[in-house]
Amino acid sequence: MDTNFNVVLFEPEIPQNTGNIVRLCVCTGCRLFLVGKLGFTVSDKYLKRAGLDYWNDADIQRFNTLEELQAEYASSNFYYCTTKTKTKYTDRQFQKGDFFVFGPESRGLSEDLLKSNSDKCITIPMAEGQRSLNLSNSVSIVVYEAVRQNGCL
């Protein structure tokens, strides 16, 4: 199967979230990129348990830095998922092959990265005063909107 979309987890911290996202990527035909320092080992039992038997079918790539990934895929569209923008994910028209970048659970993506890519930042609307959604839920919401828009499944 061709890759529908690309999910990028920058410095993910919680193995269960990453395991759930592995499963989501397999079920939606997406490639997963793990970038930077991970907050767990890839042999972590919680990671494996959350991903169940989907590991063998997963297309997972590792990069040391976000800059390396962006250089490797310089002609691709990157979208940066954050609570620090007003542009809703539903206001964008995604194309197969787009990259969705998500930051670490405890802090999100850096202010500098968001500022330098402000035209590519997207958010999921939430009730006023709430901090953020769970990472694996956020990835699911954005990926399934992109899949819906493109009739991929």
CATH number where 21 lies: 3.40.1280.10
Tell whether 26 is covered by a domain.
yes
Query: Would you say 135 and 14 are in contact if contact means Cβ atoms under 8 Å apart?
Result: yes
Q: Is the pLDDT of residue 70 over 80?
A: yes
Tell whether 1 is covered by a domain.
no
Tell whether 10 is covered by a domain.
yes
pLDDT score, position 41: 75
CA separation for the pair 10, 109 (Å, rounded): 8
> What is the span of the domain harbouring residue 35?
6-150
Q: Looking up tokens 């997972």, which residue turns up?
A: 60
Please give the tally of structural domains in the chain. Answer: 1
Residues 8-50: pLDDT tens digits? 999 999 988 998 999 999 999 999 999 999 987 776 566 566 5
Tell whether 49 is covered by a domain.
yes
pTM: 0.94
pLDDT band at residue 55 under the 50/70/90 scheme: confident
Q: In sequence order, which residues have a C-beta less than 8 Å from that of residue 124 and are 6 or more positions away? A: 81, 88, 89, 133, 138, 141, 142
Tell whether 35 is covered by a domain.
yes
pLDDT score, position 47: 57
Tell whether 96 is covered by a domain.
yes
Tell whether 73 is covered by a domain.
yes
The DSSP secondary-structure symbol of 57 reads G
Q: In sequence order, which residues have a C-beta less than 8 Å from that of residue 47 and are 6 or more positions away? A: 15, 16, 18, 19, 22, 40, 41
Query: Would you say 22 and 137 are in contact if contact means Cβ atoms under 8 Å apart?
Result: no
